[in-house]
Amino acid sequence: MKILVCISQVPDTSTKIILKDNNTAISSDGVTYIINPYDEWYALIRALELKETGVASDVHLITVGKADVEPIIRKGLALGGDEAIRIDAAANDPYETASYIAEYAKSVGYDLILCGKESIDYNNGVTGVMIAELLDADYIGFAASIQIEGNTAIVNREIEGGEETDTCSLPVVIACQKGVAEARIPNMRGIMAARTRPLKVVTPTAVAPVAAILSYEMPPAKAGIKLVDPDNMDELVELLHSEAKVI
């Protein structure tokens, strides 16, 4: 069984975002990039676990981006991925990204495609759904556990107020979240080996974008805090009612 894991590059959560070009773009100056945690900690690690238990034979990693994303996908190799594919195109739109990945996946033929439930930069959570649609494959989201038995995926997923268990024949696209796998850290041997391993760079067929970002807006600055004497509960109740409007 071949598994394809979708990897995306996102800014580290400690990065200070600076807008440029009249708020139509985000400056990359001084930004530290990481693998999207949902892709790394859950999708990739679960794929590696399936390989380690003999369920899968190969775990391939795929990302969309220019040469600056290569350190990110090499970390995936350091963790244990067998092959890394970089689609040589800017990842500007979820539909474009999904189209490029689906085009490559269709040419190879994967039994299982894993991705994170969302990326921590835009929080769209739509790329996996689009990949499934473009491949005419089934899709399961918010997976908290994944088991493979023969040609069937057994997925436990969180729903409002509880959990459900789904079964689906392969091939299938599954979006992963917390609980699917335990995070791990690459060892030094894996890191050193990943530095020199070849990456497969693919030039995709051009895809017309279906959406465009018109502008960005920073969240409003946090208001100052108001201290209330612990002996003055009447004032606290009044503020919660009139200003915070929570009671």
Residues 115/127, Cβ–Cβ less than 8 Å:
yes
Handedness of CA 72, 62, 188, 178 (dihedral sign): positive
Q: In terms of pTM, does the model score above 0.75?
A: yes
CA distances from 73 to 143, 158, 159 (A): 23, 29, 31
Confidence (pLDDT) at 192? 81
| Per-residue confidence (pLDDT) for residue 14, from 0 to 100 | 85
Q: Which residues of 118-144 are buried (b: 16+ CB within 10 A; e: fewer)?
A: bbbbeeebbbbbbbbebbebebbbbbe
List average pLDDT for each run of 10 residues in the chain, which is 247 residues long. Answer: 96 88 87 93 95 94 95 92 94 91 96 95 91 97 95 92 93 94 80 85 90 87 82 88 84
Q: What is the pLDDT of residue 146?
A: 97
Does domain 2-216 fall into CATH 3.50.50.60?
A: no
For residues 64 and 179, the answer to whether their CB atoms sit within 8 Å is no
Q: What is the mean pLDDT of the chain?
A: 91
Q: What gap in Å lies between CA 114 and CA 155, rounded to an integer?
A: 12
DSSP state of 221: P
Q: At what angle are helices 188-196 and 70-79 packed, to 10 degrees?
A: 130
Q: Give the tens place of pLDDT for each residue, 35-94.
A: 999 999 999 999 999 999 999 999 999 999 999 999 999 999 999 999 999 999 988 789
Query: What is the reported pLDDT for 99?
Result: 96
- Determine whether 79 is exposed, middle or buried from the number of CB atoms within 10 Å of its CB (0-12, 13-18, 19+): buried
